[in-house]
Structure 1
């Protein structure tokens, strides 16, 4: 059965403290006036979601700006025939929902948790107040959307010009968010990786098998976490 969120939970002292810590990490938050900081903290709520739970659905009103406190989310769409594709993969510290809020339109994609996650939900009215009142916040939005657009363009180029193996490699590097760790652990199912690449699970499995032979990736633990060697991945792609 599909798991849904019908409304944001009410804030309590524990969630307020958690949100204060999360929001306090961002320079734009500290640049706000005292009143706007109080408004942002007072109206935002923390949400805890389980793996596979839908946070928002395409066609519904855009109600929040979503910040990932912990966990992983995916932005995905489902075609008329039921085919699904992933547009973007969000990790801890990323934000989404800004595009639909800025255009004041319905959600254009589903937002679903890939793992258990904690989210910071900033209501639409607060979001618009921050955008109209804070240059630092507006600049941050530009940075967020520019980075996401760069990922979109990179995946589009990969789908048009690269072979299957390099498409999988490009997706893995996107999931690693260009991290510089020698070995980065990714907790993503092969099905979800296939949706990002636009390939079949069998084709993705073949590419991963090749990468394992070349020492680019390896699996670890009983759950088969994928360990990605980011520099070897960059060298393979040619970045």
Structure 2
């Protein structure tokens, strides 16, 4: 599946993709930039260049926004929807590294190393993705100390997340793995705008946690019975975020 440019569709309130789904366009790209914490620390000249050179694309659920092995030519932000960062082994087994909800930026590591992208970026739900060109990203990094500090904080937080991910998946059972994946979506540095109602199905959460749908269902029931979440049709409501973090052994 290919990514769909928002320029390929009309400018009505909703975007109808060729996959038959509908994506709300209530938030503009400029709104998204203005709401990003790093954008506020830029000079007027820097903001102007970012707004001029950043573009967006729409990606239907299941579509690939960036292929593994492509040049890492852009820093990415999720305007709407949710994506996953994953890869596949030679035998076809998929491994998901992270889910990235709306309001978040990611991919700075690959851009900095000027390497082929070591993972694919796949839309879990219909999504809109912002693309900042690598040249623009590096230009900001070289001239704005506060932006550089932001990127360092991002990399540090992401490193901590992956250490926690490996720890959790190797040492803990299904319910703790699901709790980790849910709680991780609320990391204040990496994912600052996540809402307590997550528009995720059990199947989608299973993809993030690396579990079968059956095991994901059992884990969610266990977390719901403990009063940490509520399950709605096509959504999960986080009731006790601190409880999820304790259950996932985050910080242990």
User: Unaligned 5+ residue runs, structure 2?
Assistant: 13-24
Q: Match for residue 128 of structure 1? A: 138
Q: Match for residue 25 of structure 1? A: 35
Whole-Å separation in 1 of the counterparts to 2:96 and 2:168: 14
Q: Mark the CA change 1:5 to 1:76 in structure 2 (over 3 Å): closer, same or farther.
A: same
User: Are 2:210 and 1:201 aligned?
Assistant: no
Q: Match for residue 110 of structure 1? A: 120
Whole-Å separation in 2 of the counterparts to 1:123 and 1:237: 36
Whole-Å separation in 2 of the counterparts to 1:6 and 1:19: 16
Match of 1:24, SS?
Answer: helix
Q: Match for residue 19 of structure 2? A: none
Aligned partner (choices 191, 195, 205) of residue 203 of structure 2: 191
User: Are 2:73 and 1:52 aligned?
Assistant: no
1:152-194 deviation line (CA, Å, top 9, x unaligned) = 1111111122222222222221134479xxx922222333323
User: Are 2:110 and 1:100 aligned?
Assistant: yes
Q: Mark the CA change 1:64 to 1:169 in structure 2 (over 3 Å): closer, same or farther.
A: same
Q: Mark the CA change 1:238 to 1:109 in structure 2 (over 3 Å): closer, same or farther.
A: closer
User: Unaligned 5+ residue runs, structure 1?
Assistant: none
Match of 2:28, SS?
Answer: helix
Number of paired residues? 230
Q: TM-score, normalised by structure 2?
A: 0.79
RMSD: 2.9
1:121-169 deviation line (CA, Å, top 9, x unaligned) = 1111111111111111111111222222222111111112222222222
Whole-Å separation in 1 of the counterparts to 2:117 and 2:107: 8
Is the Cα contact below 8 Å between 2:180 and 2:248 reproduced in 1? yes
Q: Mark the CA change 1:226 to 1:133 in structure 2 (over 3 Å): closer, same or farther.
A: same
Whole-Å separation in 2 of the counterparts to 1:159 and 1:5: 31
1:29-65 deviation line (CA, Å, top 9, x unaligned) = 3433333222211111122222222110100111211
Match of 1:77, SS?
Answer: strand
How far the C-alpha of 1:89 sits from its partner, in A, is 0.9
User: Are 2:244 and 1:233 aligned?
Assistant: yes
Whole-Å separation in 2 of the counterparts to 1:77 and 1:50: 19
Whole-Å separation in 2 of the counterparts to 1:108 and 1:66: 14
Whole-Å separation in 2 of the counterparts to 1:29 and 1:238: 33
Match of 2:35, SS?
Answer: coil
Is the Cα contact below 8 Å between 2:4 and 2:60 reproduced in 1? no
Q: Match for residue 145 of structure 1? A: 155
